[in-house]
């Protein structure tokens, strides 16, 4: 383990940071601006807003303003960008850049944080390369002093990508993409109910002039019948193929069809495919009642999702660290997301790769374009292709394996998407798929039936668990479960659920010496709002729950606008796991979050009250405090509420709110639908591989008794990996049902810094400039 590295020795004293948003706006930009400002001030640097993007930099004057901590209060939940964004022709000329350099030097700004798309970031890099020459020219013209050339010798640039299209190579997600998906899915879910009533076909056009990410992921998240994207145009004769797929789906009693078209969709000859063209085709060929809906700028609007707020906050802090560590030799970098890690990549390598995608599409090298988009895009496309096309019985392989799927634990949004994906991939693999109702308890009672491709149609957008789920562990039903496995000849198990799913499969593994029926491949897919399953950074359902918490916190904060100063104490679910409280606090801009993993006492509670009291004196109107339901036996939500009420008398009043089961319900978020679909597909493909490996021809049956035949599939930092449950046993605190180490605790200081506390922030994972992996390198 490397020594922990903290940023205390990184001082911003004497440095000035300018922050600007440029190009198209995206939800979450304000969260990034807020993080840059507060982190900058925290390290004692001066921070300046540059209003209206590069135009403000060229015009100078009142467009470049030093800001304070309070300047960014209450902007976290606001969509768009509060500092404005504008296209700027002047900055494209050397004359414009000369003016911009002069304006920056006047304020002493030599560190720029640019939030925008690839055009904005390319412009910033050019500006950086020309910086010295620009200063020399300004000194010659007498616009700056000669000493300024040495004093402001180099310009540091760090970029963050704000773009709803997710069209920038090098990052899994750009700021704004998740929020745009939320807008699209809200519309699709609403349209589905009306389409169902009238047996209609809907053609939806979504944004993405050069990138099909929004179209592809929304098609995956709503189970669309057909999707058109620029990177993967349909083959010749697509008209016949699409119409036959639509009519096949109608023949299977499906009452509606959804077709999603990216605005930049093309055919294999690079000719555009429009939503009107698709509609006319459906009407002429099939005679279906068909409507077109163009979503347009709705996708850019609205409040940012919890994911975007957390992503932007993490990136903003990372950007300031990168600026502080910058040297004249450091290339301009962009802060990116890889899996669950914030990474730094050379800006121009990412820009080059993004431009190569367009060149590949122009040259009709579409498979190259898909690869260059990155593994996340490629996985989405491959999963969509597998799930959307039902092969005929003659085309399917026949394996004679029976695979059972069950949900275990409390319901979590996204479970149904995972079941749908598992059933369809299993059928494509040639297996017979069985659905178990009511978890292990239902298994013991024989609630098992075969499930077909059509049975899981329309499941992706449904909340809860359609199969039914129970918390019961298999321990007391082992004999009956073994008997049911014999009766139905079950050869593999896919268990989708929370901590009980992990614990239950561990019990099955440990019972193998007594019951040979359990010697089969078993895979667990983590699904719980608490996100407390060992072996994974994320669980299906946690994102939906986080969005419910953040949305409620936003509303609660608004309820106090116009009244006197008020502090809200909010209790979240999660058992002993503080994930929801901690991440909810980060996404909602809370002042404190009390969790079980970090012990707190009366002195800390007192310090928090005093801290809030001081903040209220600076003009801040509202405070927000989150508490995990099991964070402390004695410091209950009521106790904390009463303490704050008493100590805050005369300065603020208090309200409390227990969010309860609303965190568990509702339609799954786009992230949970997509994550559930992809992780479940990967799990079934692994089971298929294990079934072939463990088939004993002599005995004519499957026999798997090794540790690695009972695995949990989890997201670990950057990758989805299969881990034997036995190995995860040591990493688990079974009493409190949580992993012993949790990655998100590293983000806890980040929440405190953004709430104006002095703290230590471990930056061991930061600071390494990596290189962009191009597909050929990735294969090597």
CA pair distance 254, 476, nearest whole angstrom: 41
- State yes or no: 117 annotated in a binding site: yes
CA pair distance 345, 121, nearest whole angstrom: 13
| SS3 call for 306 | helix
- State yes or no: 291 annotated in a binding site: yes
Give the 3-state secondary structure of 362-425. Answer: HCCCHHHHHHHHCHHHHHHHHHHHHHHCCCCCCCCCCCCCEEEEEEECCCCCCHHHHHHHHHHH
- State yes or no: 210 annotated in a binding site: no
172 is catalytic: no
- State yes or no: 736 annotated in a binding site: no
Q: Which residues contact 764 (CB under 8 A, 6 or more apart)?
A: 2, 3, 4, 5
- State yes or no: 462 annotated in a binding site: no
- State yes or no: 697 annotated in a binding site: no
- State yes or no: 207 annotated in a binding site: yes
- What's the Cα-to-Cα distance from 228 to each of 178, 259, 273, 690, rounded to whole Å? 20, 8, 8, 35
- State yes or no: 119 annotated in a binding site: yes
Compute the residue count for the chain: 780
The partner residues of 769 in beta bridges, in order of sequence, read 344
- State yes or no: 771 annotated in a binding site: no
- State yes or no: 85 annotated in a binding site: no
The partner residues of 157 in beta bridges, in order of sequence, read 112
- State yes or no: 176 annotated in a binding site: no
CB-count burial class (<10 Å; 0-12, 13-18, 19+) for 434: buried
* Residue of 3, 25, 59, 165 with catalytic role: 165
- State yes or no: 530 annotated in a binding site: yes
- State yes or no: 231 annotated in a binding site: no
Check if the beta carbon of residue 60 is closer than 8 Å to that of residue 106. Answer: yes
- State yes or no: 57 annotated in a binding site: no
- State yes or no: 662 annotated in a binding site: yes
**Other Cβ atoms within 10 Å of 776 Cβ, number:** 8
Check if the beta carbon of residue 31 is closer than 8 Å to that of residue 309. Answer: yes
CA pair distance 552, 559, nearest whole angstrom: 10
- State yes or no: 212 annotated in a binding site: no
CA pair distance 124, 156, nearest whole angstrom: 10
- State yes or no: 3 annotated in a binding site: no
- State yes or no: 634 annotated in a binding site: no
The partner residues of 230 in beta bridges, in order of sequence, read none
Check if the beta carbon of residue 448 is closer than 8 Å to that of residue 480. Answer: no
| SS3 call for 79 | coil
- State yes or no: 636 annotated in a binding site: no
- State yes or no: 603 annotated in a binding site: no
Q: Rg of the chain over CA atoms, in angstroms?
A: 27
- State yes or no: 285 annotated in a binding site: no
Packing angle, helices 542-559 and 670-694, rounded to 10? 170
Summarize the annotated binding site for beta-D-fructose 2,6-bisphosphate as residue ranges.
Answer: 471, 528-532, 566, 573-575, 629, 655, 661-664, 737
Summarize the annotated binding site for Mg(2+) as residue ranges.
Answer: 118
Summarize the annotated binding site for substrate as residue ranges.
Answer: 163-165, 200, 207-209, 263, 291, 297-300
Summarize the annotated binding site for ATP as residue ranges.
Answer: 24, 87-88, 117-120
Summarize the annotated binding site as residue ranges.
Answer: 24, 87-88, 117-120, 163-165, 200, 207-209, 263, 291, 297-300, 471, 528-532, 566, 573-575, 629, 655, 661-664, 737
Active site residues: 165
């Amino acid at each position: 383990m490397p020594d922990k590295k903290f940023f205390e020795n990184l001082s911003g004293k004497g440095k000035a940071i300018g922050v600007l948003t440029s190009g198209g706006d995206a939800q979450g930009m304000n969260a990034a601006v807020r993080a840059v400002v507060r982190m900058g001030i925290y390290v004692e640097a001066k921070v300046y807003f540059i209003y209206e993007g590069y135009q403000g930099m060229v015009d100078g004057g009142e467009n470049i303003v030093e800001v304070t901590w309070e300047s960014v209060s209450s902007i976290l939940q606001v969509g768009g960008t509060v500092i404005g964004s504008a296209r700027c022709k002047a900055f494209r000329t050397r004359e414009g850049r000369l003016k911009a350099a002069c304006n920056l030097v006047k304020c002493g700004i030599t560190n720029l944080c640019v939030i925008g798309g690839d055009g904005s970031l390319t412009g910033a890099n050019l500006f950086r390369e020309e910086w010295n020459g620009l200063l020399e020219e300004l000194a010659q013209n007498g616009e700056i002093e000669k000493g300024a050339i040495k004093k402001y010798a180099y310009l540091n640039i760090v970029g963050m990508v704000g773009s709803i299209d997710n069209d920038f190579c090098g990052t899994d997600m750009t700021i704004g993409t998740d929020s745009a998906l939320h807008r699209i899915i809200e519309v699709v879910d609403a349209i589905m109910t009306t389409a169902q009533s009238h047996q209609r076909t809907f053609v939806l056009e979504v944004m993405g002039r050069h990138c099909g990410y929004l179209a592809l992921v929304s098609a995956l998240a709503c189970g669309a019948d057909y999707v058109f994207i620029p990177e993967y145009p349909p083959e010749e004769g697509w008209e016949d193929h699409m119409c036959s797929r639509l009519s096949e789906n109608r023949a299977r009693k499906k009452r509606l069809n959804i077709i999603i078209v990216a605005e930049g969709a093309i055919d294999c000859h690079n000719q555009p495919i429009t939503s009107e063209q698709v509609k006319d085709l459906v009407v002429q060929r099939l005679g279906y009642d068909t409507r077109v809906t163009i979503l347009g700028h709705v996708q850019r609007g609205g409040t940012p999702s919890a994911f975007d707020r957390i992503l932007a906050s993490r990136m903003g802090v990372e950007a300031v660290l990168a600026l502080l560590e910058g040297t004249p030799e450091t290339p301009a970098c962009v802060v990116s997301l890889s899996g669950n890690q914030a990474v730094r990549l050379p800006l121009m390598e990412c820009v080059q790769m993004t431009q190569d995608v367009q060149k590949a599409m122009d040259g009709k090298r579409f498979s190259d374009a898909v690869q260059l988009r990155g593994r996340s895009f490629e996985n989405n496309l491959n999963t969509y292709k597998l799930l959307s096309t039902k092969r005929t019985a003659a085309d399917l392989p026949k394996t004679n394996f029976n695979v059972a799927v069950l949900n275990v634990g409390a319901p979590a949004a996204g479970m149904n998407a995972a079941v749908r994906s598992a059933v369809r991939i299993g059928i494509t693999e040639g297996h017979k798929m069985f659905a178990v109702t009511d978890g292990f308890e239902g298994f013991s009672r024989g609630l098992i039936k075969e499930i077909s491709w059509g049975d899981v149609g329309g499941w992706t957008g449904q909340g809860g668990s359609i199969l039914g789920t129970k918390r019961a562990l298999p321990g007391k039903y082992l004999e009956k479960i073994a008997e049911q496995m014999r009766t139905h000849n079950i050869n593999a198990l896919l268990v989708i659920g929370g901590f009980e799913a992990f614990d239950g499969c561990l019990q099955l593994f440990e019972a193998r010496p007594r019951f040979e029926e359990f010697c089969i491949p078993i895979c667990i897919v983590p699904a719980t709002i608490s996100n407390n399953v060992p072996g994974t950074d994320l669980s299906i359902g946690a994102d939906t729950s986080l969005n419910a918490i953040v949305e409620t916190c936003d509303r609660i904060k608004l309820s106090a606008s116009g009244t006197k100063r008020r502090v809200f104490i909010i209790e979240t679910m999660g058992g002993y796991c503080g994930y929801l409280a901690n991440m909810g606090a980060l996404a909602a801009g809370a002042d404190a979050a009390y969790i079980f993993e970090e012990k707190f006492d009366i002195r800390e509670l007192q310090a928090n009250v005093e801290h809030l009291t001081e903040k209220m004196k600076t003009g801040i109107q509202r405070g927000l405090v989150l508490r995990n339901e099991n964070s402390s036996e004695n410091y209950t939500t009521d106790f904390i509420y009463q303490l704050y009420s008493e100590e805050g008398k005369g300065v603020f009043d208090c309200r409390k709110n227990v969010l309860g089961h609303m965190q568990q319900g509702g339609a799954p978020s786009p992230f949970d639908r997509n994550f559930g679909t992809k992780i479940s597909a990967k799990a079934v493909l692994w089971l298929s591989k294990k079934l072939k490996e463990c088939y004993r021809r002599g005995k004519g049956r499957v026999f798997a008794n090794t540790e690695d035949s009972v695995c949990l599939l989890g997201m670990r930092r950057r990758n989805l990996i299969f881990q034997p449950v036995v190995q995860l046993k040591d990493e688990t605190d079974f009493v409190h049902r949580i992993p012993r180490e949790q990655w998100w605790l590293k983000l806890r200081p980040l929440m405190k810094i953004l709430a104006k506390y002095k703290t230590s922030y471990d930056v061991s994972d930061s600071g390494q400039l990596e290189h962009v992996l191009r597909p050929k390198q990735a294969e090597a």
